[in-house]
């Protein structure tokens, strides 16, 4: 099975600028290493042979730093964006680099998590998912109510009709995708990736999800970054199991 990783890293990182005015967000130091290296470790542990990173802000710093951060033997591809394309456009813009792989595993550069990706990839394959998102019962209040899992296993998105038994969650920014779902799509006007998945589900794609109890935090805010530092300082032994 051929796995390609994708780290979304093109954002401007404005909320962290007060702490790190001279760093693009993926390169801020977190526990003695650049934050993005933790996403690389997740993908390396899963067996990704290629990792794509989309870059925009302070691209010269990213070009210099990233090759030193991936595991030896990993094929690193930088997808440069002259103008920000957003999450959906950034992925679609790089599709030539992941075409032919069995799975595209996408991770936001600005999260810290103890998640074991393999558990959720297994679930995605068992569910025959075209798209499979990892959800948590915990997360920022601003993100709650946006997404959930239906009793069937399909995802529910805010704005759609509710039905009994929907389990609400927060999207971690980790998703497993069959690369062929992007075939035939047009880059111009591509919406945010979650909105694109919503459309795919309406069109009959199997857009599903699984829950985790693993720790995760959004590094994109000062509060989140401080929580991440506190977490890294705590002893091991946390619950890494998937809830399914």
**Spatial distance between the Cα atoms of 46 and 224, rounded to a whole number of angstroms:** 25
The answer to whether residue 228 sits within a structural domain is: yes
Owner of token pair 């995605």: 124
The answer to whether residue 241 sits within a structural domain is: no
Owner of token pair 């999207």: 171
Overall number of domains in the chain: 1
Q: Is the pLDDT of residue 59 over 90?
A: yes
> Are the C-beta atoms of residues 87 and 64 closer than 8 Å to each other?
no
The answer to whether residue 238 sits within a structural domain is: no
Residue 137, token pair as written in the block: 């019962």
Confidence of residue 22 (pLDDT cuts 50, 70, 90): confident
Q: What is the 3-state secondary structure (H, E, C) of the chain?
A: CCEEEEEECCCCCHHHCCCCCCCCHHHCEECCEECHHHHHHHHHHHCCCEEEEEECCCHHHHHHHHHHCCCCCCEEEEEECCCCCHHHHHHHHCHHHHCCCCEEEEEECCEEECCCHHHHHHHHHHCCCCEEEEEECCCCHHHCCCEEECCCCEEEECCCCCCCCCEEEEEEEEEEECHHHHCCCCCCCCCCHHHHHHHHHHCCCCEEEEEECCCEEECCCHHHHHHHHHHHCCCCCCCCCECC
Give the pLDDT of residue 236: 63
**pLDDT per residue as tens digits for the range 132-183:** 999 999 988 888 889 999 999 999 999 999 889 999 999 999 999 999 999 9
Owner of token pair 């998937």: 242
Give the pLDDT of residue 243: 47
CATH number at residue 100: 3.90.550.10
Mean pLDDT calculated for residue range 98-116: 96
Residues 146-173, buried b or exposed e (16+ Cβ, 10 A)?
bbbbbeebebbbeeeeeeeeeeebbbbb
Predicted TM-score of the model (pTM): 0.93
The answer to whether residue 237 sits within a structural domain is: no
The answer to whether residue 35 sits within a structural domain is: yes
Domain range for 73 is 3-232
Range with the lowest mean pLDDT among 1-5, 26-30, 75-79, 200-204?
A: 26-30
Neighbours of 174 (CB within 10 A): 23
Residue 11, token pair as written in the block: 């954002």
The answer to whether residue 239 sits within a structural domain is: no
The answer to whether residue 155 sits within a structural domain is: yes
Give the pLDDT of residue 165: 94
The answer to whether residue 242 sits within a structural domain is: no
């Amino acid at each position: 099975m051929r796995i390609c990783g994708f780290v979304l890293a093109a954002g401007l990182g404005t909320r962290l600028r007060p702490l790190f005015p001279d760093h693009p967000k993926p390169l801020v130091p977190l526990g003695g290493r650049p934050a993005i290296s933790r996403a690389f470790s997740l993908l390396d542990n899963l067996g990704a042979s290629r990792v794509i990173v989309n870059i925009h802000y302070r691209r010269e710093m990213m070009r210099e730093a990233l090759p030193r951060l991936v595991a030896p033997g990993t094929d690193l591809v930088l997808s440069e964006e002259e103008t920000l394309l957003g999450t959906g456009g950034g992925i679609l813009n790089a599709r030539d680099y992941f075409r032919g792989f069995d799975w595209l595993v996408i991770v936001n550069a600005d999260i810290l998590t103890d998640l074991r990706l393999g558990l959720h990839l297994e679930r995605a394959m068992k569910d025959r998912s075209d798209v499979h998102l990892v959800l948590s019962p915990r997360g920022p209040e601003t993100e709650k109510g946006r997404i959930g899992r239906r009793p069937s296993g399909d995802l529910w998105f805010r704005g759609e009709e509710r039905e009994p038994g929907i389990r609400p969650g927060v999207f971690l920014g980790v998703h497993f995708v069959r690369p062929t779902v992007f075939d035939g799509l047009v880059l111009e006007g591509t919406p945010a990736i979650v909105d694109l998945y919503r459309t795919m589900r309406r069109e009959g794609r199997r857009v599903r999800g699984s829950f985790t109890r693993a720790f995760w935090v959004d590094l994109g805010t000062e509060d989140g970054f401080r929580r991440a530092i506190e977490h890294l300082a705590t002893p091991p032994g946390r619950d890494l199991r998937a809830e399914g």
